[in-house]
Amino acid sequence: MVRGAAEIVDELFIGLHQAGVDVTYLVYKHPDLAHSFGTCVIELSQAEIEGLNEGKIPISNYFEGDIFHTQSSGKHVNYDLTDFNGKWVATCHGADSEDAAAEFLVFVGKQQMHNHFNLFQSHQRSKKCYVAYNCYQEGLSFTDGPHDSIVHLSSLRSDKGVHLLPLIANTTGRKIELYGSNLYPDYFDQYITPHLGTLINYHGPIDSIEQKNKMYSTAELFLHPATFNEPFGITLIESMRCGVPFMGFNNGSLPELKHEGSVLANDLDDLCEIIKSKRYACSAETLINHASKFNSKNMVNNYIGIYRDALTYPY
C-alpha cells in the first residue's frame, strides 16, 4: 500500500467535509466514497471519462462553485472551464515532467516548486503559487518489535533507486527487506531477482495499515535511495511517524522532510558509509514529534487557507 496522489485527494476531501466546507468531489469508480457522502460525491461514467480525455466535459454542468481544484495541472488536463465562473486551483503532485497551467498552483514541497519555476516559469504564468505538504496515513504508530532491519517500500521502479539496493546491501553487509508491488517485472528480474535470499528479501506488496505498522516494527532504518528529485515522498514521513529514521540522497524533498539533526548522503559511497557507521540513528520520540506536523488536519487547514487567499485575489 504505497499511497499516492489519489489517496491524498480522498483524505483532503474527507477532511474538508469534516471541517464544514461545502465541497463536491468528482470521482470515477469510487462507490465506497459515493455511498458514504451521498450527493457530495459525483461519480463520472465511463463515457464521461472518455469525454474527459477528449476535452469535452464542461465542469459548469456538474456544479457551480467558487473553487475548482484539480490534482493535476499540466497541458494534458482537458477540463472545459469555459462557463465556469470560479477560480482554478491545481496541486502539482508530480516531479519535473509535469507542466503547470492552472491559475493558482499548489506544490507539495518548496524544492519541487522551485524546480517547476526553473523548468516552466510557472510563477510567471500563474496568478499565485503556494506550498502545502501532504500527510501521513492515519493509524500509523510506533510498534514494539525488533527494529533491527533495513527496509524499503515503493512501487519498485528505477527512479526510486531499487536497482541500487543490492549494491548497498553488499557494500554495507546489511541485507535489505524489500516491500512493494512488482509492477515492472523485467526491471525487477534484472536487478533484484539474482540477489533474492542473499542480499535482498522480497516480501511483496503492503495491503493494509496493519501490515505497514508491522513492517516498520522490524525496521531500524527506512532506505530511500531515489535517483530523481522526489517531489514529496509520503513513505518518508510515514517512516518517521512510526519512529524509524529514513536515509537517502541530499536532493528533492528529502532535506525539507528530515528532522533537523538527521543526515543525508551526497552520493552512493557516502550513503553506504552512513549506514555502516549508523549515523542515521535518532530517537523514535524525536522522529514522531517531527512527523506530527505532517498530519491530515494541518494539510486540510493549509488548503482552506489557500482557497480563501485565492478567492480574495482580484482579477
- Classified as helix, coil or strand, 119 is helix
For the chain (length 315 residues), average pLDDT per consecutive 10? Answer: 80 94 87 85 78 70 87 67 88 70 90 88 86 95 96 96 98 98 96 98 96 97 95 95 97 94 95 97 96 96 97 88
> Number of structural domains, the chain?
2
176 is a domain residue: yes
3 state SS for 243-279:
CCCEEEECCCCHHHHCCCCCCCECCHHHHHHHHHHCC
246 is a domain residue: yes
What is the model's pLDDT at position 155?
93
Closest CA to 39 of 18, 63, 58: 63
144 is a domain residue: no
Instruction: Indicate whether 216 and 130 sit together in one domain.
Output: no
Instruction: Indicate whether 130 and 215 sit together in one domain.
Output: no
What is the model's pLDDT at position 119?
84
Instruction: Indicate whether 158 and 237 sit together in one domain.
Output: yes
Residue carrying C-alpha cell 524489500 = 178
Closest CA to 180 of 158, 205, 216, 162: 205
CATH number at residue 49: 3.40.50.2000
Residue carrying C-alpha cell 526553473 = 118
Instruction: Indicate whether 286 and 305 sit together in one domain.
Output: no
Instruction: Indicate whether 271 and 307 sit together in one domain.
Output: no
Instruction: Indicate whether 165 and 287 sit together in one domain.
Output: yes
| Neighbouring C-alpha atoms within 13 Å toward the C-beta of 306 | 28
Instruction: Indicate whether 210 and 81 sit together in one domain.
Output: no
140 is a domain residue: no
Instruction: Indicate whether 115 and 127 sit together in one domain.
Output: yes
222 is a domain residue: yes
Instruction: Indicate whether 153 and 289 sit together in one domain.
Output: yes
208 is a domain residue: yes
This prediction has a pTM of 0.91
- Classified as helix, coil or strand, 220 is strand
What is the model's pLDDT at position 216?
97
- Give the range of the structural domain holding residue 48, as residue numbers without chain letter: 5-135+295-311
142 is a domain residue: no
141 is a domain residue: no
What gap in Å lies between CA 83 and CA 80, rounded to an integer? 8
DSSP state of 136: P
Instruction: Indicate whether 239 and 156 sit together in one domain.
Output: yes
Instruction: Indicate whether 170 and 285 sit together in one domain.
Output: yes
Closest CA to 283 of 245, 257, 253, 247: 245
Identify residue 172 by its one-letter amino acid code. Answer: T
Instruction: Indicate whether 188 and 110 sit together in one domain.
Output: no
Taking residue 294's Cβ as centre, other Cβ atoms within 10 Å add up to 20
